[in-house]
Amino acid sequence: MRPGRSWAGWGTVPAAFVLLLLFGGALVEAVSVSLDDGLGAWRRLLGSDELVASLALTWRVALTSTILAAALGLLIALLVRRVFQTFGGRVTRVLLQVPLPMPHLVVAIAALMLLSQSGLLNRLLGGAALPPLVNDRFGVGIVFTYVWKEAPFIAVLVLSALRGETLKLEEVAQNLGASRWRVLREVTLPAALPALRTGSTLVFAYAFGAFEVPRLLGQTRPSMLGVWSFRLYTDVDLARRPEGMAVALLIFASVVAAALALNGVRGRVR
Amino acid sequence: MRGRGLGLALLGCLAIAAVLLPLALWSVAQQWFPPALLPQSFGLRGFREVARSGAVSATMASVLIASAVAALSVVLAYPAGRALGLSTFRGRAALRTWLVAPALLPPTAAALGLHAGFIHLGLADTQLGVVLSHLVPALPYTVSAIAATFSGFDARYEDVARNLGAGRLRILATVTLPLVWPGLLIAALFAFLVSWSQVALTLVVGGGVVITLPVLLFGLASGGDLHLTAAACVAFLAPVFLLLPVTGRALTGSVLGGRG
């Protein structure tokens, strides 16, 4: 903002350049390895039943986790706002911070100890015959892990988006005679939407490509795309490497597409 | 009102205990056969064995790698955060998106390509390669934390010092750094934590040769000895909880601000 100086953006160049090298390099390398035997890897991949099954599982798990985490996170935020200044409200706000820095790996391990056949939940229920909750077809344990970790994250984002201006607008609407439901629908939710969108995008992107959580908690076949790409890439049969790369590129493309769809091109560049 | 707040807090405690309690119990359980609800006997076998199974060297590797990532990302992010937080310029929005967007990228999407590329450079399966790969997820957080710091910084302090004849280094050391170091520290902690929790990137780029604490933990968890796994989890979580007071607040302030 200082006048008389040339382009003030030079400072961004080193970091931008390093990311370009690492990230652009990785992308170019991934494309070139995936084309090692011409289009062979892509052809084998696109013709395989496992791709359809893996894609379906990955979309289902990532979408379910995102929707549940967003809904629960929003609900928590709205409830916390009702009791914001009480003792319980303050305690809850501190508790919401706990899952934020917890590594996914640790939460996944805890989910294993909680939900497996000999897990704590089963013991608590006196060995009641629960359906399998880990390594199952639906990825219950995976979804549990993401929701436990990400719902508080979304709640925190929404809470910080609803401070200040929104409070005043809600008061105004109330004073003008709007019902509680109408204030929620026409003032609070629209104000929470951008935070909800940012949070959901992050949760979806992570859940879609994650490795360690579905590797520990998911079934072996079909597995989610992140696990599958890793397995193909590290297969003893080196001829499968290009397929692993192709799957990684599919993950990348899907995440970019989902982020653009959720935020719109305009929203991203703003 | 009061009762409802307490109810909410109680539910929160339950949800957190559901995850932390199994870890804590398994880490100090000596014998715990189903269907017993609590361990039959307690002991520190898990901790002793995990220390013998390479946890010490893995912890050192983790500390070394995460510190290097923190230092490198702060050095790289400092000028970027300063430019983004302090000035407007052509292409600012696009550059900001470019610098922050990799936070969206699932590690698996970049890991395989990075490993293949690093093979040519002799960086695959090395600690340096792992450090460089961790920069991809760490830089976005560091840049947005430092940008948030500088958006609250008044550059006129520097102008005053300059007018009084101070040199560039002197201004940095006596004016700028004393004002922005808390933000830089938070940025470094972010980068440290991002690197500390990384599994997929380390596993792929480190090729199973670079063993960090989470890589060791991942192996233990796949192996299925819950005593060892839980003990390693506790060691792995220690710095996370030490940094908890800082991360929560900073995360909401800076990362969201950084994402605009």
- Comparing CA positions, the residue from B249, B220, B213, B36 lying closest to residue A119 is B36
B114-133 pLDDT per residue, tens: 999 999 999 999 999 999 99
Q: Is B41 exposed, middle or buried (0-12, 13-18, 19+ CB in 10 A)?
A: exposed
- Given pLDDT bands bounded at 50, 70 and 90, which one contains residue B223? confident
* Least trusted range by pLDDT, from A83-92, B15-24, B101-110: B101-110
What integer pLDDT is reported at residue B257 of this predicted model?
38
Q: What is the DSSP letter of A130?
A: P
ipTM: 0.88
Output the average pLDDT for chain B. Answer: 88
Question: What percent of chain B is predicted at pLDDT more than 70?
Answer: 93
What's the whole-number average pLDDT of chain A? 89
B94 belongs to a structural domain: yes
Tell whether B111 is covered by a domain: yes
Q: How far is Cα A239 from Cα A4, in angstroms, rounded to an integer?
A: 58
Residues 6+ apart with CB under 8 A from A252: A27, A30, A209, B105, B109, B110
- Within an 8 Å CB–CB cutoff, is residue A17 touching chain B? no
Q: What is the mean pLDDT of residues A235-248?
A: 91
Q: In this predicted structure, what is the pLDDT of residue B33?
A: 81
Tokens of B143: 């840049």
Chain A with chain B: Cβ pairs closer than 8 A? 302
The answer as to whether B92 is a domain residue is yes
**Which residue of chain B comes nearest to A152, CA vs CA?**
B12
Q: Which residue has the higher pLDDT, A193 or B258?
A: A193
In a domain, B54, yes or no: yes
Q: Is residue B19 one of the residues assigned to a domain?
A: no
Count Cβ neighbours within 10 Å for each residue of A206-241 and write b for 16 or more, e otherwise.
bbbbbbbbbbbbbbeebbbbbbbbbbbbbeeeeebb
Task: Look at chain B and report how many structural domains it folds into.
Answer: 1
Residue B251: pLDDT over 60: no
Residue predicted with more confidence, A120 or A156: A156
Residue A225 φ then ψ, to 5°: -55, -40
Residue A231 predicted with pLDDT over 50: yes
* Mutation site, B104, B119, B135, B203, interface A, largest A CB count within 10 A: B104
Range with top average pLDDT, A85-99, B38-52, B69-83, B223-237:
B69-83
Q: Degrees (nearest 5) of the Cα angle A14, A20, A25?
A: 135
Q: Are B227 and B49 in contact (CB under 8 A)?
A: yes
Residue B258 predicted with pLDDT over 60: no
> Is residue B20 a part of any domain in this protein?
no
pLDDT (mean) for A125-132: 78
pLDDT band at A216 (very low <50, low <70, confident <90, very high): very high
Task: Say whether residue A119 is in contact with chain B using an 8 A CB cutoff.
Answer: yes
From A74-78, B32-36, B132-136, B197-201, the region with the lowest mean pLDDT: B32-36
Collect contacts of A27-31 with beta carbons under 8 A, ≥24 apart: A27/A252, A27/B113, A28/B113, A28/B117, A29/B113, A29/B114, A29/B116, A29/B117, A30/A245, A30/A248, A30/A249, A30/A252, A30/B112, A30/B113, A30/B116, A31/A245, A31/A249
Q: Is residue B31 part of a domain?
A: no
Res B1: pLDDT: 59
pTM of the model: 0.90
Which one of A22, A240, A263 makes the best mutation probe of the B interface by having the most chain B beta carbons within 10 Å?
A: A22
Nearest CA in chain B to A217: B222
In a domain, B193, yes or no: yes
Which residues in chain B have Cβ-Cβ distances shorter than 8 Å to A159?
Answer: 252
Model confidence at B256, in pLDDT bands (50, 70, 90)?
very low
CB A27 within 8 A of CB A246: no
Contact A156/B at CB under 8 A: yes
Q: Which residue of B has its CA nearest to A8?
A: B89
Q: If you write DSSP's letter for every residue of B46-71 in order, what string do you get?
A: HHHHHIIIIIHHHHHHHHHHHHHHHH
A30 to chain B, closest Cα gap in Å = 4
Q: How far apart are CA B10 and CA B24, in angstroms?
A: 19
- pLDDT tens digits, residue range B31-78? 888 778 888 888 888 888 888 888 899 999 999 999 999 999 999 999
Identify the CATH number of the domain in which residue B229 sits. 1.10.3720.10
Does the pLDDT value for residue A3 go beyond 70?
A: no
Tell me the domains of chain A and their CATH numbers. 49-269 (1.10.3720.10)
Peptide bond into B35 cis (omega under 30): yes
Span of A93-97, A256-260, B181-185, B252-256 with lowest mean pLDDT: B252-256
What pLDDT is attached to residue B163? 93
pLDDT in the model for residue B239: 82
Q: Which domain holds residue B236?
A: 42-259
Ranges of beta strands (E only) in chain B are 29-31, 41-42
A178 burial type by CB count under 10 A (0-12 exposed, 13-18 middle, 19+ buried): middle
